[in-house]
Amino acid sequence: MMIYLDNSASTIPEEEVLRTFAQANRTYYANPASLHQAGNKAEQLLESARKQIATLLGDSESTVIFTSGGTEANNLAIIGYAKSLKHRGNHIITTVIEHDSIRNACLHLKTEGFEIDFLSVNEAGEVSPEELKEKIRKDTILVSIMHVNNEIGTIQPIEACSKVIREHSRALFHSDCVQSLGKLELPYPEWVDAVTLSAHKIHGLKGTGCLLTKKFNEPEAISFGGGQERGIRSGTANAPGSAAFAKAIRLIIERKNISAYRRWNTRLRKAVEDENLVRICSPIEGAPHIFAVAFKGITGEVAVNYFQEQGIMVSTSSACSSKTNKVSPVIQAIRVPDDYRRGVIRISFGNMNTDQEIDTITRVIKEFIEIIKKGMKQHDME
């Protein structure tokens, strides 16, 4: 029986979400842009999902722009807002530990003449509002700071950063909230102007996400076609997928398992905190569903393979880039020592995990540490 503990990469879809998607595909199969009755019904489903998501997340007047997932929504936020706000300036601020869909979008804008400043982080992965205050300018048009880091679970001081932004600029504040939806209270709409969300991180379906923005704060389009989604995101709208996304959000709000995540996180932390061969990468005050550790003198791939042999699925620090065999910018930024930084794994919980599964991985981690110790002793003897 497989134990799946890679929920920050993707989650197992809820049965209710799958049923919603299947039923909607059978009933609302038409193109929502079509003028006939079947098209009108599909459009009604799409707009109902849009309204549900906005209401569930705190502002029924928000604009919900449906996308294919978090990456597209982040690209739309960074490039789309840069285009729509360029009359105010060309300065953008983000952080050194953002997801690649933010980082690479910013680097793309740099080639088009925009100025990009990257905020550093401390060893817990936190940005400094003071550094933000130093770097923000009158011509800063956009600040993007993720709410929860996807690799180590750091929760950023969004409220403090928001106060700096509002006091010193007219910049729009965007936050990648892919990892915080369903685990923490979102900083939207009180502290940020727009957030990125993704369905498959909350037991929904891959291929659905959205950019949630305050009314009248919409970005410019970065792709072109038939003018769907208010002309911001062209392409035939995925009404069944959007309905399933709304269902996933409702379920994650109703069923969130935060107390269990905290208990499991604490248990794993206590199991390894006194081991010299292990360095805990996740801050103690981080998001409860993510626990990242580094093993001394080995690679993360070795650890992942060992756990897999025991029927446990975990990932190296970021599943999005784990096959590149490179040290991630996040692990570099938090200054993990050289002899640990290639041995990082991430354990991440979801609503379908159990106490018994955490019992198993706790035991397996301890066994793995003993194997590393024996290997080092044998190496020393040789």
DSSP string of 245-265, one letter each residue: HHHHHHHHHHH--HHHHHHHH
Q: Phi/psi of residue 314, each to 5°?
A: -130, 180
Radius of gyration of the chain (CA): 22
Instruction: Give the SS3 label for residue 364.
Output: helix
- Domains located in the chain, CATH noted: 3-9+257-381 (3.90.1150.10), 15-254 (3.40.640.10)
pLDDT tens track for 142-152: 999 999 999 99
Cα–Cα distance for residue pair 267/353, rounded to 1 Å: 14
Check whether 266 has a pLDDT greater than 70.
yes
- Active-site positions read 320
Strands 209-213 and 172-176: unpaired
pLDDT tens track for 67-101: 999 999 999 999 999 999 999 999 999 999 999 99
Q: Phi/psi of residue 106, each to 5°?
A: -65, -40
Please give the share of the chain, as a percent, with pLDDT higher than 70. Answer: 96
pLDDT tens track for 199-253: 999 999 999 999 999 988 999 999 999 999 999 999 999 999 999 999 999 999 9
Q: Which of 138, 190, 135 is nearest to 163 (CA)?
A: 190
Check whether 381 has a pLDDT greater than 50.
no
Tokens of 192: 């940020």
- Mean pLDDT score, 297-302: 94
Buried-exposed string 157-195: b where 16+ CB fall within 10 A, e elsewhere: ebebbbebbeeebebbbbbbbbbbbbbbebbbbebbbbb
Partners of residue 348 on adjacent β-strands: 6, 290
- Cβ partners under 8 Å of residue 60, min gap 6: 51, 54
- Residue 255 pLDDT level (bands cut at 50, 70, 90): confident
Check whether 263 has a pLDDT greater than 90.
yes
Cα–Cα distance for residue pair 346/352, rounded to 1 Å: 17
- Mean pLDDT score, 102-108: 98
CA 53 to chain centre: 18
Q: Find where tokens 């007047």 sit.
A: 61
Cα–Cα distance for residue pair 82/25, rounded to 1 Å: 36
| Type of residue numbered 25 | N
pLDDT tens track for 320-365: 554 556 789 999 999 999 999 999 999 999 999 999 999 999 999 9
Tokens of 99: 């997801």
Buried-exposed string 103-128: b where 16+ CB fall within 10 A, e elsewhere: bebbeebeeeebebbbbebeeebbbe
DSSP codes joined into one string, 229-250: TTTTS-S---HHHHHHHHHHHH
Q: What is the dihedral of CA 76, 221, 233, 68, to 10 degrees?
A: -20
- 325 phi-psi bin (left φ>0, alpha ψ -120 to 50, beta other): left
Tokens of 283: 């801050």
